[in-house]
Amino acid sequence: MTADERENGGELRGRVALVTGAGTGPGRRFATVLARAGAAVVLGARRLDLLRQVESEIRAFGGAAMAVALDLCDPASIVTAVEAAERRFGTVDILVNNAATSEKAWAVDVPLAVIDRVIDTNFRGPFLLCTEVARRLMARKMPGRIVNISSVGICMYLPSPPLALYSATKAAVKRMTETLAIEWAPHHINVNAILPGLFRSEQADAHIAAVGEERIRNALRRKRFGEPAFLDSTLLYLVSPASHAVTGASIIVDDGQANR
């Protein structure tokens, strides 16, 4: 066991995790945190070059990881990624649905192609991935943990930038979490959601640069941006034995940013 595994208890040893959007931002952090806790981690995203970097980082501290091309807009890609994970590490019993995209336009101005891409990436793809993973767990009578990343933007909406469609799809992710938790409770597959606030990521950094870092920071109650590391403990709790009775929950982690 590595020093990092000892620090995290190594409690995920023997587990296989699939993390989408694992090349940057929170997804990259999720992947490394799970690997440090002992899980074998499958890194999914469209950009393999970024995934290779994360794969190397995890292997450098003694973790197990593999990069797989995964396009949530392509149902065949979803099946292929899960099959690749099984061939390498075994049945996926931790899924982190993190990948997402947004429209950054007023609702009346969003082209149909963008509408389809946002819905496919943020909702249809995660739904298909949840069912693909759950179907295999059920066939093997194995328990599992699914963590879907929604957004605190479903609790409040300040259209700067305008993200009506993004917010709607993230609300759908929360409801998907609740309904799948009920359906899959008899199979001991826990399905929960994390609702982050404004956290540092590739997409968020572009918005911060456009609006102005100081302006946004001063509008935040704690005068600081959320960092992916702020989500570590919540993620580890939801995939660990400690949360065995928690399913269908949505946990807000926003550093006090939102009015609720």
Domains and their CATH numbers in the chain: 3-253 (3.40.50.720)
> Please, which pLDDT band fits residue 6 given cuts at 50, 70 and 90?
very low
Is the Cβ–Cβ distance between 68 and 91 less than 8 Å?
A: no
Question: For residues 50 and 9, which has the higher predicted lDDT (pLDDT)?
Answer: 50
| Per-residue pLDDT at 31 exceeds 90 | yes
- Give the residue among 27, 10, 30, 145 at the shortest CA–CA distance from 91: 145
Alpha carbons 32 and 42: distance in angstroms, whole number:
11
Question: pLDDT tier at 73 (50, 70, 90 boundaries)?
Answer: very high
Q: What is the mean pLDDT of the chain?
A: 91
Residue 148 has pLDDT above 80, yes or no: yes
Lowest mean per-residue pLDDT among 80-89, 118-127, 139-148, 197-206: 197-206
pLDDT confidence tier of residue 1, bands split at 50, 70 and 90:
very low
Q: Report how many helices (DSSP H) and strands (DSSP E) the chain contains, helices first.
A: 10, 7
Task: Please give the angle made by the CA atoms of 16, 22 and 25, to the nearest 5 degrees.
Answer: 135
Q: Is the pLDDT of residue 209 over 80?
A: no
Q: pTM of the prediction?
A: 0.91
Q: Among all residues, which ones are annotated catalytic?
A: 166
Confidence of residue 51 (pLDDT cuts 50, 70, 90): very high
Yes or no: say if 22 and 51 are a contact pair by the CB < 8 Å rule.
yes
**pLDDT tens digits, one per residue of 160-174:** 678 899 999 999 999
Dist. CA 180–CA 76, nearest whole Å = 22
